[in-house]
Amino acid sequence: MASKPGRASGITYTTVRGSQGPRREFKITLGLRAGYGPAGRVYDIEEAVRSAHEWMGARARADESFLTGMFTRGEVLYARSPAHANREPVAIFSGEALPQAARRLDDAKIEEMLNDLAIQMAHRLEQEEVQVAYRERTWTLRRAKGK
């Protein structure tokens, strides 16, 4: 069901042609503490932001598609960890593949881009794992042993 355009303070808004379509939400969640346990370096969320921005810029310069989104900081709580390591700061990159910008991208291409971006951020933040979600699916990427 399409939303109806409206008016506010004498200004009229109309639906932009080609802007309606299915929701294709995504989210990448990665820790800001390097490695496992409380001893790892804690990165500032700005490192994740810089990494994502570099990824976007490189793809734009190569005239390739990229995803845009927003970062929020959060904390993951662990119930079975020792008291000194029962929480971890995380960076959350979320957004949507909007119909206007991503109409030519199929789900497989978007998942490929999400994985590529997630791996770049995870490497920069010294993460063993990174969580990715797209539409109704979620998966974990884990760094291979010895890499």
pLDDT digits (tens, 9 = 90+) for 27-46: 999 999 998 777 789 999 99
**DSSP state letter for 85:** G
Give the Cα separation of 57 and 48 in Å (integer): 14
Which pLDDT band, with edges at 50, 70 and 90, does 140 fall under? Answer: very high
* pLDDT above 70 as % of the chain: 90
Looking at per-residue pLDDT, the higher value among 57 and 4 belongs to 57
User: Which pLDDT does position 119 carry in this prediction?
Assistant: 97
**pLDDT tens string 79-127:** 765 655 678 899 999 999 987 778 788 999 999 999 999 999 999 999 9
Instruction: Give the residue among 50, 49, 51, 31 at the shortest CA–CA distance from 41.
Output: 31
Please check whether residue 92 is in contact with residue 69, taking contact to mean a CB–CB distance below 8 angstroms: no
Position 6 confidence tier, pLDDT thresholds 50, 70, 90: low
The rounded percent of the chain whose pLDDT value lies above 90 is 61
Looking at residue 133, its pLDDT comes to 98
Identify whether the C-beta of residue 33 lies closer than 8 Å to the C-beta of residue 88.
yes
* pLDDT given for residue 101 in this prediction: 74
Lowest mean per-residue pLDDT among 2-6, 9-13, 115-119, 133-137: 2-6
Residue of 116, 75, 113, 121 whose CA lies nearest to 97: 113
| Domains delineated in the chain | 21-142 (3.30.70.60)
Look at residue 85 in the predicted model and tell me its pLDDT. 60
